Amino acid sequence: MKKIHAPDYPFIITTAILLLFGFIILSSASSVIGFERFGDTFFYLKKQLIFGLVPGIILMLILSKIDYHLWRKYSHWLMLASVGLLAAVFIPGIGAEFGGSKSWLIIGSISVQPAEVVKLTFLLYLAAWLERRSAGIKQVSYGLIPFTVILGLIALLVILQPDVGTVSIIIIMSLAVYFAAGAPWSHLLAMTAGLVAGLYGLIKIAPYRAARLAVFFDPALDTQGIGYHLKQSLLAIGSGGIFGLGLGHSRQKFAYLPEAAGDSIFAIAAEELGFLLTVALIVLFVYFIMRGLRIARYAPDLYGRLVATGIITWLGWQAIVNIGAMLGLLPITGIPLPFISYGGTALTIILASVGILINISKQTGHRVPVSSKSSFRRFNK
């Protein structure tokens, strides 16, 4: 009989603080664009609440009570759903294009971004698939080749939209789960070589990606063109100083910084709140990742460990890429900041994933601090 105990409350509290932080920053970052487009400074905040937070909290509560092993039983259906959702964006009358990417489904008055849903559904399938093959995962024909085919199918459907940023998240998440399942380093090196070749091909197909890399290596290049976004982001972060300009007093959100409520919201936060509170936000993300890794470490079985590893890698890497891009440490890819950036579908799925992590945390087999030597021995058994 499985032992169910209290969930990881520090993880839940950290999630709640990140959510609160996100809504406070979004209320300011989206005010200008909301008033310009819809005559309502709280337009985006209301939509995030109604179409992101409310359904997300409901899903989180439900999934935190459903035994995560249930998703293993329906993993094949989840894979079919993943492929179907990604293919549906290309159907005329259903799929919609925004910002040059055909990444949306319009259902009545509701818009859904399938790639965000697929991050979770594909992960639940992949974890079940790798668990079944864990005994032979080190074999090229049984592990590496079929894994590459499955991942390649999902990646191709996302690339065709095109959404290279989301593809990078799905690939990093999948590789982390593949490695956690016992794949050897040689497989990961082979995959890395293939990814580099694929990236080169994507750059050749769309030269604007090469321009973004050029700006990354030389931020002063074309500051009125392809380098404009990075320049404005650095101006926002730099002008915040130690204590910030004050909540609501950003200058860059007045049509200077692109996607102020979306991909660039970290820069607005740094401008208004300053260095100290921005570092506090980063520390919150680091602690969130640490608690998630702890849940993965003490998961009662391989499936739980793979699911938890995938979720925390996905959210952690997404935060790293977004913050790194705003600081000029990584190329700008258009990836939103989890819990903070505007996006109803993204927030709903993130909270659903948190619900699954909470359920896994209720079934962990060891509850001593991560630093305990005995806990490492238990994990390695």
pLDDT tens for each residue of the chain, 381 residues long: 467 888 999 999 999 999 999 999 999 999 999 999 999 999 999 999 999 999 999 999 999 999 999 999 999 999 999 999 899 888 887 887 776 677 888 877 778 889 999 999 999 999 999 999 888 888 888 888 999 999 999 999 998 887 888 898 999 999 999 999 988 888 888 888 888 887 777 766 766 666 666 666 666 665 666 678 888 898 999 999 999 999 999 999 887 888 889 899 999 999 999 999 999 999 999 999 999 999 999 999 999 999 999 999 999 999 999 999 999 888 887 889 999 999 999 999 999 999 999 999 999 875 433 333 333 333 344
Owner of token pair 């609501």: 248
Query: What pLDDT score does 4 carry?
Result: 83
Q: In what order do the strands lie in the sheet with 95-98?
A: 95-98, 101-107, 110-112
Q: What's the pLDDT score for residue 357?
A: 97
Query: In angstroms, how far is the first alpha carbon of the chain from the final one?
Result: 21
Tokens representing 230 are: 């990075």
Residue 375 is predicted with a pLDDT of 34
What are the phi and psi torsion angles at 310 (to 5°)? -65, -45
pLDDT at 211: 65
Check residue 209 and give its pLDDT.
66
pLDDT value for 105: 86
Instruction: Check residue 359 and give its pLDDT.
Output: 97
The predicted structure's pLDDT at residue 370? 38
Could you give the CA distance from residue 69 to residue 67 in angstroms, rounded to a whole number? 5
Q: Check residue 215 and give its pLDDT.
A: 66
Core vs surface per residue 292-326: b (16+ CB within 10 A) or e: bbbbbbbbbebbbbbbbbbbbbbbbbbbbbbbbbb
Helix segments in the chain, DSSP class H: 9-29, 31-38, 43-48, 54-65, 70-73, 75-88, 114-132, 145-159, 164-180, 185-205, 207-217, 228-240, 265-297, 302-326, 344-361, 373-380
3-class SS of residue 126? helix
Query: How many other C-beta atoms can be found within 10 angstroms of the C-beta atom of residue 65?
Result: 11
**pLDDT for position 377:** 39
Rounded Cα gap, residues 86 and 237, in angstroms: 36
